[in-house]
């Protein structure tokens, strides 16, 4: 009989804080780089560098013996995630960091809806109310009719949807193959999926842009690694609320470094969304059935 590993909440909180800081570094680098490179090209270069981190997983990939169905699901997941990454890069260079961060919290809400529609998960009344609150948070952020919405806002809305779909496919595949294979196949197929979008709009990147995107790949990979350490140390009910710090840091970063105005409605809407995600996570923990990801789990 195997014994459950003891929970280490302080360690879990620490690693989730580190995760948030690493993803904020990713955000800052992409924002600093600006919109000169097409979003598809920037995403392709980032994931091209990420392929370096596949090397330790080559053995696991060879031993996986994937079925045709699994190959198809990995390909579909790569296509969805690739589209999400393009939209995320596009949005990051056109709307505020706080808006991108707050709207990224919508992905777990869409995962909850998708799990009910495609995986047969039951949506109890409390979860329905939480989903409605999450979508209300998005309305608070966007305030349609009271402010001008740009292509960046619509791009981020769609990005959250496709990130949620990609996570659902990852959830299905993680029940069938090793986690290292799921992560490695995502990097491989996302890079392949990005290529046909990047090549037609390709322009020569500067060495500075190449360096920034290499750093983005390093910080993003490190963020996913520290996130796994957080999950191993403590349950999502402990680590999920810590993701609210990312919105605080994103707002401060945008205001202090990029001179972005602080929008109280964006902060309020972000906290409403995150509150609903945290409640859904807590309910799933009570039912011992985890579907909703931590907010950073759907990122690039």
Q: How many domains does the chain have?
A: 1
220, 46 contact by CB (below 8 A): yes
pLDDT at 43: 94
What tens digit of pLDDT does each residue of 18-33 get? 988 999 999 999 999 9
Structural domain range at position 67: 9-295
Mean pLDDT, residues 186-210 taken together: 93
Q: What pLDDT score does 292 carry?
A: 64
Q: Is the pLDDT at 291 greater than 70, yes or no?
A: no
How many angstroms separate the CA atoms of 235 and 281, rounded? 10
What confidence score (pLDDT) does residue 2 get? 44
The mean-pLDDT minimum among 129-133, 263-267, 279-283 falls in: 279-283
Is residue 77 in some structural domain? Answer: yes
Give CA–CA dist 25/141, Å, rounded: 23
Q: Is the pLDDT of residue 34 over 50?
A: yes
As a whole number, mean pLDDT of residues 168-172 equals 84
- pLDDT score of 1: 42
In DSSP notation, 268-295 reads HHHHHHHHHHHHHHHHHHHTT---SPPG
Q: What is the mean pLDDT of the chain?
A: 85
Q: Provide the pLDDT for residue 108.
A: 83
234 with 9: CB under 8 angstroms? yes
Give the lowest-confidence range in 44-53, 92-101, 165-174.
165-174
Q: What is the pLDDT of residue 299?
A: 59
Please give the angle made by the CA atoms of 253, 235 and 73, to the nearest 5 degrees: 85
Q: What integer pLDDT is reported at residue 172 of this predicted model? A: 83
Q: Would you say residue 155 has pLDDT above 90?
A: yes
Mean pLDDT calculated for residue range 153-175: 88
Confidence of residue 144 (pLDDT cuts 50, 70, 90): confident
- Rounded average pLDDT over 52-65: 76
Residue 300 counted as domain residue: no
Residue 221: pLDDT above 80? Answer: yes
Q: Cβ-count burial of 59 within 10 angstroms (0-12 exposed, 13-18 middle, 19+ buried)?
A: exposed
Residue 178 has pLDDT above 90, yes or no: no
Contacts of 147 (CB under 8 A, 6+ apart): none
Would the pLDDT of 124 be above 80? no
pLDDT of the residue at 3: 46
Residues 6+ apart with CB under 8 A from 156: 87, 88, 91, 95, 99, 100, 103, 104
The answer, yes or no, to whether residue 4 has pLDDT greater than 70, is: no
Q: What is the pLDDT of residues 78-118, one digit of tens each?
A: 999 999 999 999 999 899 999 998 898 888 888 888 888 87
CA within 13 Å, CB half, 18: 18
pLDDT of res. 44? 95
Length of the chain: 300
Q: How sure is the predictor about 168, in pLDDT bands with cuts at 50, 70 and 90?
A: confident
Instruction: Say whether pTM exceeds 0.75.
Output: yes
pLDDT of residue 288: 65
Q: Is the pLDDT assigned to residue 300 strictly greater than 70?
A: no
Per the domain annotation, does 4 fall within a domain? no
Distance CA 80, CA 158 (A): 11
């Amino acid at each position: 009989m195997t014994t459950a590993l003891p929970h280490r909440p302080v360690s879990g909180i620490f690693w989730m804080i580190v995760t948030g800081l690493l993803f904020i570094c990713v955000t800052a680098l992409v924002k600093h780089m600006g919109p000169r490179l097409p979003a598809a090209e920037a995403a392709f270069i980032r994931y091209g560098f990420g392929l370096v981190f596949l090397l330790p997983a080559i053995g696991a990939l060879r031993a996986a013996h994937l079925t045709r169905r699994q190959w198809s699901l990995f390909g579909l997941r790569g296509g969805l995630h690739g589209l999400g990454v393009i939209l995320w890069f596009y949005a990051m260079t056109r709307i505020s960091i706080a808006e991108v961060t707050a709207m990224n919290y919508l992905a777990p809400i869409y995962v909850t809806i998708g799990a009910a529609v495609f995986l047969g998960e039951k949506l109890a009344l409390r979860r329905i109310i939480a989903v409605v609150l999450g979508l209300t948070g998005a309305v608070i952020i966007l305030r349609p009719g009271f402010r001008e919405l740009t292509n960046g806002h619509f791009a981020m809305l769609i990005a959250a949807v496709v990130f949620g779909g990609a996570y659902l496919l990852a959830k299905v595949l993680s029940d069938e193959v090793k986690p290292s294979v799921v992560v490695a196949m995502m990097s491989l197929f996302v890079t392949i999926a990005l290529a046909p979008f990047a090549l037609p709009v390709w322009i020569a990147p500067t060495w500075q842009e190449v360096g920034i995107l290499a750093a983005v790949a390093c910080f993003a990979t490190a963020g996913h690694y520290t996130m796994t350490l957080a999950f191993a140390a403590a349950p999502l009910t402990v680590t999920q609320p810590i993701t609210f710090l990312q919105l605080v840091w994103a707002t401060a970063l945008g205001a202090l470094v990029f001179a972005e105005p602080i929008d109280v409605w964006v902060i309020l809407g972000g906290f409403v969304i995150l509150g609903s995600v945290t409640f859904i996570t807590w309910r799933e923990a009570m039912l011992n059935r985890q579907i909703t990801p931590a907010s950073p789990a759907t990122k690039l």
